Amino acid sequence: MKPSLIFCFLSLFLFTVSASAQPRKQEIPYPFAESPVPAKPDYSNLSNWAALPTTADQADVTPNKKIKENQANATVDVFYIHPTTYYNGDPWNADLGNADINTYTDNMPLRHQATVFNGSAKIYAPRYRQAHIRSFFNLHLGGKEALALAYQDVKSAFEYYLEHYNNGRPIIIASHSQGTFHSIRLMKEFFDGKPLAAQLVAAYMVGFPFKAETFTNLSPCSDANTTGCYVAWGAYADGYVPSFYDTICKGAVCINPINWSNDTTFSDAGQAKGLVGWKYRRIYGKSLRARVHNGLLWITKPKIPFSFLVKMEVYHVADYNLFWMDIRENVALRIGNYNGGDQSLK
């Protein structure tokens, strides 16, 4: 899917938002049982990974020359699960051979989200037979099955990663939207009360609301320094409450990625380390404030050129971009604390 709706001048600095990506029910072409099932990926095949630390890919780039990619020297891994990039098509699950989907995945979420980790960790990002966007709005008409199939790929990729790539190294789990839907289950199966929790630096589970009681032993991070924990948020304009708030968002785990607290008062604009625009060329520091409101992350309108021309209420596609430098520096901090305070990644 290619972006089809650009919000005026803000698009020059912030994000593209596809009209077809807006949440809504979509026509069901046929029952899940009659849907073509794409071939199961073999994760020994490098083409089934959107990013690996040993290949040249979009997870290697940075917004400018001052920010350095450092995967070769990193001693920590990040397993990144990308959000939905499958919007157009009839089958319930995406074919990994679909070049358009793969290109969009690489140029948008991989480039804008996964790269936040490339200064401190080696990035492993599997392609998977993601569920069509319609799945979330038609759970009882095939959506559950489509999401379950997608998760089996994520699980298979993670198991392959553990067996062939990890070698006992510390792990960060990172995800967004549909990716977080899957990372919740992955965390429950592999980390919650399991021996692998000892290797968990932190999890950045963004853009899909869930409550703390989802896990038995894992807890939200209490501050910017804690390890073995997780953070989550979903960004909205200050004061905006989505229609699905009471059933989905209310009471969800929410951390302010500017000050890494659940404070209900606004963080200071001077604390914001920098957002990255959708063209991935510039970083704008001290551009916004944020506060937590019972499961929502409310933000002020980013102070960047021409933003006054645009009104946005849902910043879902920008959940990482808005706090790109904040996350990047926090990742390095948590890794250093996991390593006993050694910021050099011993």
Q: What is the pLDDT of residue 282?
A: 93
Average confidence (pLDDT) over 203-221: 98
Q: How confident is the model at residue 10 (pLDDT cuts 50, 70, 90)?
A: very low
Alpha carbon 228 to its chain's center: 18
- Whether 11 shows a pLDDT value over 70: the answer reads no
Which amino acid is present at 317? V
Rounded to the nearest integer, the mean pLDDT of the chain is 91
Confidence of residue 307 (pLDDT cuts 50, 70, 90): confident
Q: What is the pLDDT of residue 308?
A: 78
Residue 2 has pLDDT above 80, yes or no: no
Stretch (H or E) spanning 104 = helix 99-105
% of the chain surpassing 70 pLDDT: 91
Give the up-direction half-sphere exposure of residue 33: CA atoms within 13 A in the CB hemisphere.
2
Question: Which band of pLDDT confidence, cut at 50, 70 and 90, is reported for residue 51?
Answer: very high
pLDDT of residue 222: 96
How does residue 1 score in pLDDT terms, banded at 50, 70 and 90? very low
Give the per-residue pLDDT at 19. Answer: 29
Which of 2-6, 155-159, 231-235, 318-322 is the least confident region? 2-6
Give the model confidence (pLDDT) of 248-293 as tens digits: 999 999 999 999 999 999 999 999 999 998 889 999 999 999 999 9
Separation of alpha carbons 149 and 156, rounded Å: 11
pLDDT digits (tens, 9 = 90+) for 95-111: 999 999 999 999 999 99
Banded model confidence at residue 301, pLDDT cuts 50, 70, 90: very high
| This prediction's pTM | 0.92
Strand positions, DSSP E, the chain: 49-51, 77-81, 122-126, 171-176, 200-206, 229-231, 235-237, 275-276, 283-284, 290-293, 296-299
At residue 306, the pLDDT reads 81
Average pLDDT over residues 31-37: 95
Angle 158-159-164 from CA coordinates, rounded to 5°? 100
Contact 4, 19 (CB under 8 A): yes
pLDDT at 341: 62
Looking at per-residue confidence, does 69 or 306 come out higher?
69
